[in-house]
Amino acid sequence: MKTQKFFLVTILVLTTGLLAFSQKKPNLNVTELLKAGKLPQNLELKNELQKFVVTTDHFNTDIFGNFFNKIRIKGDYTRGLPDEQVKWNNVSVAMSMSRNDEFSAGSPVAYMENFSYKVSEDMLKPEKFSTFTEHSAYTKNLVWDMMGIEGLAWVNFNDLELNKPFKATFFNGKMDLAGMGSFENKDMVITWTGITERNGEYCAVIEFRTMNNPLEFTDDGMSMKGRSHYWGTIWVSVEDKQVEHAVLFEDVVLEMNLPGQTGKQIIDAVREISFVKVL
C-alpha cells in the first residue's frame, strides 16, 4: 500500500509539473523551430519596462600578462521608458591594485544618475556627453556597450539560420568616439547556435565575434592606438524578443603615450562584461 501511494504521489507531482510547463509556453514549439532552422520571423519586441545590472571589469597588464591594476564600472540600465527613453542609475567606479582582491563598493558617478537618452547614432556625438567629467572614458563605454548588445540582438534577428555564421555587415565601419578617437568594426559575424531557457523563457543563443578592429583614443593628454578582439553571447527571448542575458569579452593591445613621457608603453587591456536582467 505504501509503495502504491508513493507512485500515485509521484505521478501526481510529475503530471502537475508537466501541466504547469505546458501552460507556461502553449504557443511555442521548440522542436519545430529548430527543425525549420529559422527564428520566429517578424517577432515584435515587447517593449515594456526592463532593468539590467551592467558590470564591466577591466584588467590591465603588460603584453606578458604582468598585472598593473583592475577597474570595475557598474550601473543599472533601464529601458522601456516613455518616449523610447532609456536611463542609467547607481553607476560606480572601483579600482584595485591587486589581481585577487575583491572590488570595493566603488565611488558613485553623480553625472550618470538618471542620465537619459533615446538610443540612436546621435549617442556617438560629443554634445551628448557634455555633462561627463571624471571617468568619462569608462562611463561612455557603458552607453556604447549596451547599444551594441541590443543592436546585435535585434538588427539581424530575422536573417539568422541555425548554426550558420552570418556576416553582419551592418555593424562594420569606422565610428567616431564622441570626439575622443575612433573605433572600427572590421568583420562582425553572428551565429545562432541553439535554444535554451533563461529567466523562465525560451531564448535563442546568439554568438558574436569580430577581430583585429583598429582603435585610436586621446584624452587628457594621453593617446593610445591599437587593436581590439571582442566576442560574446546574447540570450534573446523567442517569445517576446527581449534580451534576457548577455556576456562580452574583449582583448585590446595598445601602444600608449603618457603626458610628459617620450617613450611608449605597450599594454594589454582585457574587459569582461555581464548584462544581468533583474526586471
Instruction: Return per-residue pLDDT of the chain as tens, 279 residues.
Output: 434 443 333 333 333 333 333 344 546 889 999 999 999 998 999 999 999 999 999 999 999 999 999 999 999 999 999 999 999 999 999 999 999 999 999 999 999 999 999 999 999 999 999 999 999 999 999 999 999 999 999 999 999 999 999 999 999 999 999 999 999 999 999 999 999 999 999 999 999 999 999 999 988 778 999 999 999 999 999 999 999 999 999 999 999 998 877 788 999 999 999 999 999
The number of distinct structural domains making up the chain is: 1
pLDDT score, position 183: 98
Cell of 174: 569606422
The answer as to whether 203 is a domain residue is yes
Q: Cβ distance 212 to 186 under 8 Å?
A: yes
Q: Does 218 reside within a domain?
A: yes
Range of the domain at 157: 28-277
CA distance linking residue 60 with residue 266, whole number of Å: 11
User: What H or E segment, with its residue span, contains residue 17?
Assistant: helix 2-24
Tell whether 71 is covered by a domain: yes
Q: Is residue 271 part of a domain?
A: yes
User: What pLDDT does 221 receive?
Assistant: 77
Is residue 262 domain-resident? yes
Q: Does any domain span residue 10?
A: no
Residue 269 cell numbers, joined: 587591456
What Rg do the C-alpha atoms of the chain give, in angstroms?
22
Give domain status of residue 54, yes or no. Answer: yes
**Grid cell listed for 29:** 514549439
Asked if residue 13 belongs to a domain, the reply is: no
Run of H or E including 231: strand 222-237
